[in-house]
Amino acid sequence: MHGTWKKMLPPRSYVIWTLVVFIVFLAGLCIQNTDRVFQAKQEQPIVFPDRLVEKSIELEHCERKLLLNTVKKRTMALNVLSTWLAPIIWDGTYDINVLNNQHNETRIGLFVFAVKKYIRFLLPFLESAERYFMVGHKVTYYVFTDKVNDVVKPKMAEGRILQLHDVAADQRWQDVSMRRMETLTVFTKERMPKEIDYLVCADVDMVFNDHVGVEILGDLVATIHPALFLFEPEGFTYERRPISAAYVPHGQGDFYYMAALYGGKVDEIYKLSMACHKGIEEDKKKDIEALWQEESHLNRYLVYNKPTKILSPEYIWDTDLPNGEFIKRKRFLAVRKNHQEVRN
């Protein structure tokens, strides 16, 4: 009897081989399964929770930065916040319904000069403003012209008022530019505080081409110059002569702003226009004139009195400019003009 059961077992090598085959088979199964797991992961689309589905400000911001095909360009203007935490208004950075509700009762002024030949720009300007500027809000147009009787009034919506004011037609264009700042100081001091909460100042040789609403309102608001928004500060066309009141030393200044659209609370525009007007007068006494006239003085003021809100070049655009791919909405467009003809 002893030893007979052993004979009934398969030989030892056979057991080992069976085990090896079995282990290899198991390993194979595992590998196949992990493969399947990986495949499954790749095929499954990533599903964000609902609150992330809406495109975020950060994502919009990244997309704008990705458009830059060179790292040499300055991206400051593509941000949505300045270094002093003023918002930079780009499409996608605000919810207009929330803001419209907040500004339910807000009264807004639009200040514009149309003297001499520039009166031809007035009607298209006002008509486009009726279509796109602060639609649904209380708006007063402050139009200054030397030909009040020639003004053709646009068809205006309810809650909108057109004020026509007589202004002298200065011979020299430098004086037209100066007159604008002077008029602004008078009206922001005396009349406007009783009539409006915010004032927007604009060039008349422009048309509104897309929404410009209450998202642009703030204590002190300026627009980044559309030709210089990717420039290094050294390339900004500030007045660099220390003798001028508009002087900005190298190393100072954040953005170069364009004088074709700026605004703010009435008292802030009073302070701004006073400072600029004073600067222009000081220069005139010295028989000098800043490189870009009132725009130079405006820029100097904004270096030392930072705007509380900054408008991206969406808010002043010119169809001939480079880098248009960054500008999804061209809200306020320069009108083509024959400089020679219009200024004589």
State the catalytic residue, choosing from 215, 294, 295, 314: 295
Site string for ligand 5GW, 189-228 (x = CB under 6 A): --------------xxx-----------------------
Which among 51-59, 109-117, 207-215, 315-323 is the span making contact with ligand 5GW, rule CB under 6 A?
Answer: 109-117
List CB contacts of 167: < 8 A, sequence separation 6 or more.
Answer: 113, 115, 144, 145, 146, 179, 183
Which partner from the list Mn ion, ligand 5GW, none does 302 bind, CB cut-off 5 to 8 Å by kind?
A: none
Which among 9-17, 55-63, 112-120, 193-201 is the span making contact with ligand 5GW, rule CB under 6 A?
Answer: 112-120
Distance CA 300, CA 247 (A): 7
What's the closest the beta carbon of residue 115 comes to Mn ion, in angstroms? 13
In terms of CB distance, is 114 or 246 closer to ligand 5GW? 114
Indicate if 105 belongs to the active site.
Answer: no
Question: Per CB under 6 A, does 230 bind ligand 5GW?
Answer: no
Instruction: Among 80, 108, 115, 217, indicate the residue that binds ligand 5GW (CB under 6 A).
Output: 115
SS (H, E, C) the chain: CCCHHHHHCCCHHHHHHHHHHHHHHHHHHHHHHHHHHHHHHHHCCCCCCHHHHCCCHHHHHHHHHHCCCCCCCCCHHHCCECCCCCEEECCCCCCHHHHHHHCCCCEEEEEEECCHHHHHHHHHHHHHHHHHECCCCEEEEEEEECCHHHCCCCCCCCCEEEEEEECCCCCCHHHHHHHHHHHHHHHHHCCHHHHCCEEEEECCCEEECCCECHHHCCCEEEEECCCCCCCCHHHCCCECCCCCCCECCCCCCCCCEEEEEEEEEHHHHHHHHHHHHHHHHHHHHCCCCCCCHHHHHHHHHHHHCCCCEEECHHHCECCCCCCHHHCCCCCEEECCCCHHHHCC
The order of strands in the sheet holding 107-113 is 88-89, 309-311, 220-224, 257-265, 198-202, 107-113, 138-145, 160-166
Distance CA 48, CA 206 (A): 43
What's the closest the beta carbon of residue 204 comes to ligand 5GW, in angstroms? 4
- Size of the residue set binding ligand 5GW (CB under 6 A): 14
Question: Per CB under 5 A, does 314 bind Mn ion?
Answer: no
What's the closest the beta carbon of residue 273 comes to Mn ion, in angstroms? 18
Question: Per CB under 5 A, does 295 bind Mn ion?
Answer: no
Instruction: Among 78, 89, 176, 217, indicate the residue that binds ligand 5GW (CB under 6 A).
Output: 176
Which partner from the list Mn ion, ligand 5GW, none does 116 bind, CB cut-off 5 to 8 Å by kind?
A: ligand 5GW
Question: Per CB under 6 A, does 260 bind ligand 5GW?
Answer: yes
Question: Per CB under 6 A, does 173 bind ligand 5GW?
Answer: yes
Query: Restricting to residues 272-331, which ones interact with ligand 5GW according to CB under 6 A?
Result: none
Which partner from the list Mn ion, ligand 5GW, none does 204 bind, CB cut-off 5 to 8 Å by kind?
A: ligand 5GW
Question: Per CB under 6 A, does 118 bind ligand 5GW?
Answer: yes
What's the closest the beta carbon of residue 84 comes to ligand 5GW, in angstroms? 27
In terms of CB distance, is 267 or 318 closer to Mn ion? 318
Query: Restricting to residues 173-212, which ones interact with Mn ion according to CB under 5 A?
Result: 203, 205
In terms of CB distance, is 244 or 293 closer to ligand 5GW? 293
Return residues touching Mn ion (CB under 5 A): 203, 205
- Kindly list the catalytic residues: 295
Return residues touching ligand 5GW (CB under 6 A): 112-116, 118, 173, 176, 180, 203-205, 260, 343
